Amino acid sequence: MDLSKKVFLILFCLLGYLPSVHAQYEHVPDSLELAFLPALAFNSDLGLIAGGLINWYHYKDEVKPYYSYTNIAGVFSTRGLASFEISRNKPNVFGTKFRIYTSIYASRFFEDAYLGIGNYGKLPEAPANTPNYYEFQSFSMGLTARARYPLFVNVKEQQLDVLAIINFDYETPWDNGSSRLLSIDRPTGFDGGRTFMFGAGLVWEARNSEFNPTRGTYLNTSIEQGSKIWGSNFNTFVWKHEMSHYLTFHIIRDITFANRVYLKHTSGEVPYWKLSYLGDEETLRGYQSKRFLDDNAFVLNNELRTWLFEIPSLEMRLGGTLFFDIGRTFANGTSFDTITNDLKYTFGLGGTASFFTPDFIIRTDVGFSEEDFGVYITTGYLF
């Protein structure tokens, strides 16, 4: 893509919070903290963007890592992006050891990205008479519920949880001309449909913090199965595996070396929106969104993180990151040599800011690849 046509995303942040916000490193028993992030932005692909993000943190001394955490996010664009999501994470539900995460979302997008399945070479320019060749209009909605229950907890408060998953989503392309790549390829799911999946997994939690980890390990592995027997339009199998590790050392100041391995495998009747992909702020930073799409994906993310400045009177910290990402998508049956001979690399740097509570972190990453660059402004670390 022509980099000269790109316009950096400019985000103006206004942060508000409840009067009961407490010290940066302490939580008063039964405290409620709120972070509000209204946003105004412009991007040459999406136009003028407006939206907001609200995070509620409810803390109680006897409940770790928090009593509850709620997130509400909404984004609207002059070029047709409208997205809304509500999620909630609640440990110790009804006084039990169950921890339940729920999320519901809906999204309409006039310029969703589809760059083909298994397209690893240089991306051809869109035909002159079809400027929206790699784009399509879509509507999607979904509901996810995950329940965790500890199998055991050791003296270091590290724990192994069993995981149960229910995942429903619906997506449909709509009103797309025959000259767009999605209409030409007609991948599985082109006519729209729903997936209804049940799953199970294991979670190993040994980090010193979920939001700002500086040491420890985390592992999450799960399988999900969708079947026409219980209402899915596709017989789909998905396996995901994520493992991250954190190590902190001191050179002038504390520096955390964080790395993550993420793997995803799909098989069966897999609609295009369930395929494995790389290219966005959560995978290969610097490639276009969903640049690589196929049955399988693996990515290794590496980061050096540090906090550079602290202003206790404003309950604020400012920091920075350096990162390097390696990954690849590939079809089922691809040989190991083929996979390792065509790895994709990205690198970049970023800034972080923490306000009011150490759990609320704003992250800005700038990633570079051999094809493009990306600017990502979001909340929370990548992992």
Q: What is the pLDDT of residues 318-358, one digit of tens each?
A: 999 999 999 999 999 999 999 998 999 999 999 999 987 78
Q: How far is the C-alpha of 14 from the C-alpha of 36, rounded, in Å?
A: 8
| Residues 1-59: tens digit of each pLDDT | 443 333 333 344 433 333 333 333 445 567 787 777 777 654 444 556 788 888 888 98
- Among 56-60, 216-220, 307-311, which is the least confidently predicted range? 56-60
* Long-range own/partner contacts, residues 29-35 (CB < 8 A, 24 or more apart): 29/59, 29/60, 29/61, 30/59, 30/60, 30/67, 31/58, 31/59, 32/56, 32/57, 32/58, 32/59, 33/57, 33/58, 33/59, 33/356, 33/357, 33/360, 35/355, 35/356, 35/357, 35/360
Per the prediction, the chain carries an average pLDDT of 88
Q: pTM for the full model?
A: 0.86
DSSP bridge partners of 120: none
What does the domain layout of the chain look like in residue ranges? Answer: 63-379
Nearest 5°: phi and psi at 212?
-135, 65
Q: How far is the C-alpha of 11 from the C-alpha of 299, rounded, in Å?
A: 28
Quote the pLDDT of residue 29.
64
Residue 217 burial (C-beta neighbours within 10 Å; 0-12, 13-18, 19+):
middle
- Region 288-315 average pLDDT: 94
| Residues 225-254: tens digit of each pLDDT | 999 999 999 999 999 999 999 999 999 999
Three-state DSSP class for residue 181: helix
Are the C-beta atoms of residues 255 and 225 closer than 8 Å to each other?
no
Name the more confident of 200 and 378. Answer: 200
| CATH tag, 63-379 | 2.40.160.50
